[in-house]
Structure 1
Amino acid sequence: MLNNDRLLVQILLLVLLGACVWVLAPFASALFWAAVLAFASWPIMRVLTRWMKGNSTLAATLLTGGWMVLVAVPLVWLGFNIADQIREFNVLVHNLQVQGLPAPPAWLAELPLIGDNLLNIWNTLDEQGTAFFATIRPYVGQVGNWLLVRSARVGGGMLELALSLILVFFFYRDGPKLAAFVHSLLHRLIGDRADHYLELVAGTVQRVVNGVIGTAAAQAILAYVGFSIAGVPGALILGLLTFAFSFLMVPPLVWGPATLWLVWQGQYGMAIFLGIWGMFIISGVDNVLKPYLISRGGNLPLVVVLLGVFGGVLAFGFMGLFLGPTLLAVAYSLLEDWLVKEVPGVVTPAKLSGNQSNDAAVRD
């Protein structure tokens, strides 16, 4: 009878946990990003708490307010600039409908092989502009619907970001209590190895945060420098866009159109400079800096972390940047512990690297 009662209690606990997960599921993404942000910026929280003489609530309020200013102000400013660009684009389309295309640039006819054909196409579009716009008008509505759907998703993302910035306050304020609760829970489940896996997860997330954000910041700064040298208007806005597109690993979507704009303006020298700068400097940083920052200070093979980053993005979306490498790191460590436990004489990669470093120290 005792065993039946215990089984019933376990079933009820599982049902309760499932109900809790069901309640929190709509906020999973916001909770995840709030936790990542709080964890990545915890050293700042610790310093602020010391300055506030141990008042964690005041320190959490100040830091959360700082994040809101740092995130909200650039987003609002970027939104206004994008709105201005859309307004100018609408004026351009209206002028093209009324006045037709401007005179073709002189360099267009001088292009080898295709110059004459491009010039004929330009003149044809200029002569048949009204008919051309009438032809594409049905597709404009489809493009508008597509943009409306994407705008709704962007709006939902903004609401999710706002919720994350609110939730991060509670992670800051109650962080030590939450950490103690997780530590006690893991210690109850897996015993003495709880500290090891907590350090493993924390170290992996910290390295990925450093690698992703550090690479994005470096690419944004380098992009701003390149745009300023090339004389591209709105260099600061393009730099911020490069920072955002760096998370998606597609910075060429920013410096590529800027290069084409320079070609359109006839600034071929600056276009060549920006193309080379974007290809080898802006995009090249991602191949050097990110692997270095992610693998620094860890015992995991670099290929495991990188596969976790790219595979996680494909499997979980943007959250996979952190979920992917963390899951692979924990799985790798579990397999390593299992091998050591089942086959005591096995040499794991971590022990092998440690032995090699010790042998080198002895030889020195």
Structure 2
Amino acid sequence: SAQIGSGVLELTLSLVFVFFFYRDGPRLSAFVLRLLHRLTGERAEYYLNLVAGTVQRVVNGVIGTAAAQALLALIGFLIAGVPGAIVLGLITFMLSLIPMGPPLAWLPVTGWLIWKGDYGMAIFMGIWGTFVISGVDNVLKPYLISRGGDLPLVVVLLGVFGGLIAFGFIGLFIGPTLLAIGYSLLLDWSRNVQPTPTA
């Protein structure tokens, strides 16, 4: 519950940051571009677009994964014959936006099925929830984040999971962005390194 509480707090703080970034976006963008011009010269705009594109893909990945988890949860609830399956599917979507959120939707449903004496459907719901609803997060999110970008999937995976471990929910944005910049700087550096002449 502490992890879920910190996830809700981090999501709230993220929304507050988003509000200020949205409000002061053009001014911040111009400042960052000036700073990058000092650091990287003509590649400044490329790096600014890289950061913006990475963050955009992370947002798409988070929302896309939440939608997929909600749809899979809805299918599971309908198969199990749970009343209010559509409402529970919408709740799953909202809970999917926070770390460890989806089990808060399907675990009580599994408990309700056990209480009702429908043990077969309770076992189904437990397996469906663990491996399908919660499991899709580990596959779909990195895939959606890496899609449409230059980053290899393994770099995105390292960024997503490393960021989450190091910084919590906000690390989902920080991790892939830092790795995208680091990976691109490394590629630029390797292209500019002149081979040393052999005697």
TM-score relative to the length of structure 1 = 0.46
Confirm whether residue 183 of structure 1 aligns to residue 33 of structure 2. Answer: yes
Paired amino acid for 1:338: W
- For residue 327 of structure 1, the aligned residue among 178, 189, 197 is 178
Q: Which has the larger radius of gyration?
A: 1
Unaligned runs of 5+ in 2: none
Q: How many residues align?
A: 192
Deviation readout 1:225-275 (Å, 9 max, x if unpaired): 422442335542464246424531463453234223312311134224423
Written as runs of structure 1 = structure 2, the 5 A alignment for 1:209-220 is 209-220=59-70
What is the percentage of aligned positions where both structures have the same residue? Answer: 66
Answer whether contact 1:263 1:271 (CA < 8 A) is retained.
Answer: yes
> In the aligned structure 2, how far is the partner of 1:204 from the partner of 1:174?
20
Deviation readout 1:160-179 (Å, 9 max, x if unpaired): 559818x71x5444423332
Confirm whether residue 314 of structure 1 aligns to residue 165 of structure 2. Answer: yes
CA deviation after TM superposition for structure 1 residue 186, in Å: 1.4
- For residue 197 of structure 1, the aligned residue among 47, 56, 66 is 47
Seen in structure 2, the aligned counterparts of structure 1 residues 313 and 162 have a Cα distance that, compared at 3 Å, is closer
Seen in structure 2, the aligned counterparts of structure 1 residues 200 and 240 have a Cα distance that, compared at 3 Å, is same
In structure 2, the partner of 1:265 is 116
Paired amino acid for 1:341: N
> In the aligned structure 1, how far is the partner of 2:195 from the partner of 2:55?
30
Paired amino acid for 2:99: L
Unaligned runs of 5+ in 1: 1-146, 346-364
Answer whether contact 2:36 2:44 (CA < 8 A) is retained.
Answer: yes
In structure 2, the partner of 1:18 is none
Answer whether contact 2:72 2:132 (CA < 8 A) is retained.
Answer: yes
Q: Which runs of 4+ in 1 moved over 6 A?
A: none
Paired amino acid for 2:106: W
Confirm whether residue 278 of structure 1 aligns to residue 129 of structure 2. Answer: yes
CA deviation after TM superposition for structure 1 residue 344, in Å: 5.8
Answer whether contact 1:219 1:246 (CA < 8 A) is retained.
Answer: no
Deviation readout 1:333-359 (Å, 9 max, x if unpaired): 1111111111469xxxxxxxxxxxxxx
Confirm whether residue 340 of structure 1 aligns to residue 199 of structure 2. Answer: no
CA deviation after TM superposition for structure 1 residue 315, in Å: 1.0
> In the aligned structure 2, how far is the partner of 1:199 from the partner of 1:218?
28
